[in-house]
Structure 1
Amino acid sequence: MNIDHIEAFLYVVHYKSIHKAANALFLSQPTVTARIKSLERELGVELFYRDGRSVSVSEKGKDFLPFATQIVQTFQQGKKQLEETQETDEVCIGANGVTAQYFLAYALPKWKEQFPYLRFQLFTGSTTNILEKLQSHQIHLGFIQYVHGDDIENELLLNNTVKLVKHRDHPLQLDELIQAKELAQQKMVFFECGAFDWNYVHKMFEVEGVAANIEVRTDHLEVAKEFIRTKDYLSFLPHLCIKKELESGEFVEIDVKHLLDMNQHIFLTYKEKETLPSSFWQTICETAKHFESIGDTY
């Protein structure tokens, strides 16, 4: 039994006219007539009395009406339930710029390999902005700092500790632990990003009564790295963005843990997991572990 034929029957009963029912269904009048006749043949009864252009529901039609109504309602309820529980094929992700550029650029192609039917939409912004999008259901998940919020879940995903680095050919010698006063004599390029609390860096110098020799300020990571490549500058940079350079030996970390320890972490943040495949969440965590373990060997 065709649900479209039953629906046509209900519309004709409601409008008491095949012409009006056809308009409401955005169908031609012959199409609705054909559907009614097909349903009548299947049921073996006449559902309407016809008198010229006018139609009225027959006694058999009246008997069938409550069953037809129930069939269509049940179908529509089932369809709605499937739509509500169906796993989405588009994943909306929010992340700060560092995570998007360095981790997601690595991770998304791998997720696509395992889940080829998924499509990804990426939003970048501040932690506050990403949290707002999560709470308003504009995104499924975020890669940001730890946040508090109603029904918000945070899972530790990546270590993004801020490191002080130099080029391997920079003249600064690292035979002993460096002191703040010595650092203050070095030229620095300062990467400014809202995702990190740079007040800790300034406080490190203030405690020693010195000021950092910041010659350049930039909000662009790659610009900061290019200044380091001149072999004249030092810079505090997030670990995610310099993994490749540290692994290759191009950049060298300067140990300042005795002066400053800026532990920054990236959390997988979300409200609901049910909207995405359970295996996808596991893949996110596995990809993050692999990303950290291989030293960014893309």
Structure 2
Amino acid sequence: MNHTSLKIFEVVAEEMSIIKAAKRLGRVQSNITTRIQQLEQELDVQLFIRESKKLKLSPQGKQFLVYTKKLLSLAEEARQSLHPQQPGGIFSIGSMECTAASRLSAPLATFSRTCPEVKLNLTMMPTRQLTERVQQSELDCALVALPVIAGKSVQCPEDLHNLPLFVENLTLLLPASMSHVNKLEDITVGRLAAFKEGCTYRDLARKLLEKASAQGGGIQIQDVASYHSMMACVASGTYICLLPESVVDLLQLPEGLKRIDAGSAVTHLIWRKDFASPALEQLCRIMHETSNLDGAQQQALG
């Protein structure tokens, strides 16, 4: 079992296709197949289940993939540690859609200029899924919205560091049919359009609507995949959505929508406590410089 075999296994597991993995790695298909077979023989387990020319991970394959990602991440961290003044290699960042849209363009451009030898991979997902991927070493770090508790602390897993970066003022967008609504307490009905389970803003909006409408767990939620589809739902006249104002300012809102203040949330950069790299240090420095929090606020929320 060597680094190359582990990398091939990781790519095949991600693509679930020998053909796609071979193309991505620049290798012939027979070489990919042989490497996987050799790895399975060495481990004495079946890593993939082959059904009707389709691949899926076996239970042992799923378990081994977790360790594979950790080993590859550790190897990359070790390589970078030998050249602390010259960040390089692959650096995987996760981000919420809203943060990527409203906060990342300038910092990532600066990072690219500062660390030209680093190959940056950006993945966008809801907070819960991003957090899990960081914990499983599939991502080096991620920008997530962590719930605030009592106005001063956050629910951050113990195995992760977190750096508070942005306070996001939140806005509930209501359709024109609810133009008479002026505050949360006035909302009596309404369905929620939101990103899938795992999104912090989805959870915050659901709790706000349940409290305002006294519907308990009866809020209907429509899963959407983009802000454009979210806006379409609200424009239809029957849905409500919750967004950071920084994102609202980027969108072309349908005419007549009502905006209601819905509090705030804090975006954090998270990474594993056992992970360190020159690229991460540079990103932390750059993101800190763009933060809208002062030192005291960061300490209180960290």
**1:243 counterpart residue number:** 249
- Whether the 8 Å CA contact 2:107–2:286 is kept in 1: the answer is no
Per-residue deviation, residues 22-78 of structure 1 (Å, max 9, x unmatched): xxxxxxxxxxxxxxxxxxxxxxxxxxxxxxxxxxxxxxxxxxxxxxxxxxxxxxxxx
Show the 5 A alignment for 1:134-149.
134-146=134-146, 147-149=155-157
- Structure whose CA Rg is larger: 1
Question: What is the CA–CA distance in structure 1 between the aligned matches of 2:279 and 2:113, rounded to whole Å?
Answer: 16
- 1:270 partner letter: W
Residue pair 2:80, 2:277 contacting (<8 A) in 1 also: no
Q: Is the 8 A contact 1:91 1:118 kept in 2?
A: yes
Give percent identity, aligned residues only: 12
**Structure 1 counterpart of 2:187, one-letter code:** L
Partner of 1:195: 199
Deviation track 1:232-253 (CA, whole Å, cap 9, x = no partner) reads 456222204323248x996866
For 2:194, the aligned partner's letter is: F
Give the drift of 1:102.
4.4
CA pair 289-234 structure 1, distance change in 2 beyond 3 A: same
Whether 1:283 and 2:291 are equivalent positions in the alignment is no
Distance 1:117 1:161, change over 3 A: same
CA contact (8 A) 1:158 1:265 kept: yes
* Change over 3 Å in CA distance of 1:119–1:150 after alignment to 2: same
2:167 to 154, 159, 171: 159
**In 2, distance between residues paired with 1:106 and 1:252?**
30
Q: How does 1:1-298 map to 2 (within 5 A)?
A: 84-86=81-83, 87-104=87-104, 107-146=107-146, 147-166=155-174, 170=176, 172-173=178-179, 177-178=182-183, 180=185, 182-184=186-188, 190-193=193-196, 194-196=198-200, 197=203, 198-207=205-214, 217-220=222-225, 221-229=227-235, 232=237, 235-239=240-244, 240-245=246-251, 254-256=259-261, 261=263, 263-271=264-272, 272-276=275-279, 278-289=281-292
Contact 2:110–2:286 (CA<8 Å) still a contact in 1? Answer: no
Structure 2 regions of 5+ residues with no counterpart? 1-77, 147-154, 294-302
Q: CA deviation at 1:94?
A: 1.9
Structure number having the greater strand percentage: 2
**Structure 1: 5+ residue stretches without partners:** 1-80, 291-298
Partner Cα separation in structure 1 for residue 179 and residue 120 of structure 2: 46
Could you tell me the TM-score, scaled by structure 2's length?
A: 0.50
2:121 partner SS: strand
Q: Distance in 1 between matches of 2:80 and 2:116?
A: 21
Alpha-carbon distance in 1 for matches of 2:213, 2:242:
20
